[in-house]
Amino acid sequence: MHFDTIIKNGTVVTASDTFRSDVGIHNGKIVALAASLDGADEIIDASGLYVMPGGIDSHVHLAQPSGDGIVMADDFASGTLSAAFGGNTTVLTFCMQEKGTTLRESLKTYHAKAEGECYIDVSFHLVVTDPTSYVLGQELPALVEDGYTSIKVFMTYENLRLRDDQILDTLDSARQSGALVMVHCENEDAIRYLIGKHEQNGELAPKFHALSRPVAAEREATHRALSLAEIVGTPIVIVHVSNRQAMEEIERARKRGSKVAGETCPQYLLLTADDLDAAELEGAKFVCSPPPRDKESQEACWEGLQSGTFELFSSDHCPFRYDDDSGKLNEKGKRHFRWIPNGIPGVETRLPILFSEGVSKGRIDINRFVALSSTNHAKQYGLYPQKGTIAIGSDADIALWDPLKQVTITNDILHHGADYTPYHGLDVVGWPVLTMLRGRSIIREGALQGALGHGQYLRRNRV
Ligand code: URP
Ligand code: ZN
Ligand code: ZN
Ligand code: ZN
């Protein structure tokens, strides 16, 4: 047999197994796994390295417009480049329905942004903000047929949130068409009440962002989302869970028989609300929703990653520049936390953080790492087994990991469009040294080898 590429002498890791094997690649697919393979145009020596499925980050925000002149720091080019440097081969980003428009119109806008602009493969979740009878009754079923098999709904943000009756209608449409619904769970009315209180007291610094979005607001909305999904009888994903109480709501819903997946993110393992309390408005760098909590919540999130309550570990990459009037420090944001755009960058640091804090520190094993960073995302969102594993017939989307490489995270080693990283100064052990997309090396030893436009749009299956 003739191969385009053989990865030799590495240790292959999947969500279930770890074994010494060479990997033979032809026409972008994995075609052979055996102790020793020969006969290829290119041999890549992976001695001392892990051969893992490329990371799949199923929660990434790129090129989303917001009002008020705020500009997201990454478009599809810079965002997918940064993801590739971080060992990822697929990102699932969001297509935002603009109110008063259809999902198809929004898709046209986002496909135009992504077309020819991606270094790795992408696929879109549809964010439903205007669930009209046309959107839910006619569009969504047709779009699911076309491979748009997941949607996100918001319970918070004045201009994005759905009321409970709208969430029920959306869940019902999703159940009938087979779409999976991701839910952002925070109680908007409670948050508005608390923002009002802080305003009355003149408490407008970034730290009051966290204080106006307490655990109770997340727990209540999580419970409500799970109850609504139970009433309709449809599976959901609770995204970006930040604390134990919300996590326990998921566990209770599962015990009642609900099909629910949980997701957590690096910020809930490493940051706390105290980070928002830094001098000179530096706390704005950490403003995201739900906000990071405290040490006990970090511990809870680790337990959820270990126990399986969380099957997904995503970045929720949502980058804005810090020192910029179109980003975190816009004129209004400097005066009042409610105008600081929500979201922090992290698509490039997600895998090194989970590897170092998780695998290197002994909290999870290497197979759990692969499940949480790649395989479960592919299974959950209809890309498996084309993506998310090292197996014959799967796309040759591969990350070679040096488990001993030591790196100190600083913004100048990263490739996103943000001008800071919330993880500045963090020492990590383990780093991706090669990222391969469909058989082609995209990143090798820290250098770009891939080309803009090599990334493709992925139609996804129902699950
Ligand atoms: O603060 C965050 N997480 N911004 C991104 C949008 C979202 O809610 O996921
Ligand atoms: Zn050849
Ligand atoms: Zn969200
Ligand atoms: Zn998000």
How far is the CA of 336 from the CAs of 53, 73, 205, 206, 324, in angstroms?
A: 43, 21, 6, 8, 16
Are 99 and 110 in contact by the 8 Å Cβ rule? The answer is no
The rounded Cα 382 to chain-centroid distance in angstroms is 15
- Tell me which residues have their CB closer than 6 angstroms to ligand 1: 61, 184, 240, 288-289, 316, 318, 342-343
Residue to probe by mutation, ligand 1, list 186, 240, 315, most atoms within 8 Å of CB: 240
> Does residue 1 surpass a pLDDT of 90?
no
SS3 assignment, position 373: helix
- CA–CA gap between residue 117 and residue 336 (Å, rounded): 35
Number of the ligand closest to the Cα of 288: 1
Whole-model pTM: value is: 0.98
Token pair of 245 as six digits: 């109480």
> To which residue do tokens 């697929």 refer?
90
How far is the CA of 400 from the CAs of 12, 17, 69, 292, in angstroms?
A: 9, 16, 40, 31
Residues 341-376 pLDDT 10s: 999 999 999 999 999 999 999 999 999 999 999 999
For ligand 1, atom 6, the nearest C-alpha belongs to 343
Are 139 and 102 in contact by the 8 Å Cβ rule? The answer is yes
CA contacts within 13 A on the Cβ side of 351 = 34
Closest CA relative to residue 229, chosen from 193, 181, 179: 181
Number of the ligand closest to the Cα of 93: 4
Q: Which atom in ligand 1 lies closest to the alpha carbon of residue 287? A: 1
Reported in sequence order, the residue ranges of 131-283 that DSSP labels E, i.e. its strands, are 150-154, 180-184, 236-238, 260-264
Other C-beta atoms closer than 10 Å to the C-beta of 9 total: 17
239 Cα–ligand 1 center, Å: 10
- CA–CA gap between residue 107 and residue 140 (Å, rounded): 12
Q: Give pairs for 297-302: CB < 8 Å, separation 24+.
A: 297/215, 297/242, 297/243, 297/244, 297/268, 297/272, 298/268, 298/269, 298/270, 298/272, 300/243, 300/244, 300/247, 301/241, 301/242, 301/243, 301/247, 301/264, 301/268, 301/269, 302/269, 302/363
Flag whether the ipTM exceeds 0.90: yes
Burial of 209 (0-12, 13-18, 19+ CB in 10 A): buried
Residue to probe by mutation, ligand 1, list 183, 276, 289, most atoms within 8 Å of CB: 289
231 Cα–ligand 1 center, Å: 26
SS3 assignment, position 75: coil
Residues 7-56 pLDDT 10s: 999 999 999 999 999 999 999 999 999 999 999 999 999 999 999 999 99
Q: Which atom in ligand 1 lies closest to the alpha carbon of residue 156? A: 8
Residues 191-232 pLDDT 10s: 999 999 999 999 999 999 999 999 999 999 999 999 999 999
Residues 409-432 pLDDT 10s: 999 999 999 999 999 999 999 999
CATH number of 3-52+395-448, picked from 1.10.3720.10, 2.170.190.11, 2.30.40.10, 3.10.180.10 = 2.30.40.10
122 Cα–ligand 2 center, Å: 28
241 Cα–ligand 4 center, Å: 11
202 Cα–ligand 4 center, Å: 29
Are 272 and 298 in contact by the 8 Å Cβ rule? The answer is yes
222 contacts: CB under 8 Å, gap ≥ 6 = 185, 238, 241, 246, 249, 250
148 Cα–ligand 1 center, Å: 21
Fold that domain 53-360 belongs to in CATH: TIM Barrel (3.20.20)
Token pair of 386 as six digits: 């084309």
pLDDT value at residue 244: 99
Number of the ligand closest to the Cα of 59: 4
> Does residue 330 surpass a pLDDT of 90?
yes
> Does residue 66 surpass a pLDDT of 90?
no
Closest CA relative to residue 121, chosen from 371, 463, 455: 455
Are 98 and 129 in contact by the 8 Å Cβ rule? The answer is yes
SS3 assignment, position 423: coil
For ligand 1, atom 2, the nearest C-alpha belongs to 343
For ligand 1, atom 9, the nearest C-alpha belongs to 316
Are 257 and 199 in contact by the 8 Å Cβ rule? The answer is no
Number of the ligand closest to the Cα of 42: 2
60 Cα–ligand 4 center, Å: 6
Give the type of residue at 378.
A
Give me the DSSP letters along 236-262. EEE-S--SHHHHHHHHHHHHTT--EEE
pLDDT value at residue 68: 83
Closest CA relative to residue 443, chosen from 451, 453, 452, 435: 435
Residues 74-131 pLDDT 10s: 999 999 999 999 999 999 999 999 999 999 999 999 999 999 999 999 999 999 999 9
Residues 380-404 pLDDT 10s: 999 999 999 999 999 999 999 999 9
Maximum separation of any 2 CA atoms in the chain, in Å: 74
Q: Which atom in ligand 1 lies closest to the alpha carbon of residue 184? A: 8
317 Cα–ligand 4 center, Å: 7
360: phi then psi, degrees, rounded to nearest 5 = -60, -35
Residue to probe by mutation, ligand 1, list 61, 182, 213, 312, most atoms within 8 Å of CB: 61
Comma-separated ranges of CATH 2.30.40.10 domains in the chain:
3-52+395-448
38 Cα–ligand 2 center, Å: 12
Token pair of 274 as six digits: 């105290």
Comma-separated ranges of CATH 3.20.20.140 domains in the chain:
53-360
> To which residue do tokens 């909305």 refer?
221
Q: Which atom in ligand 1 lies closest to the alpha carbon of residue 288? A: 1
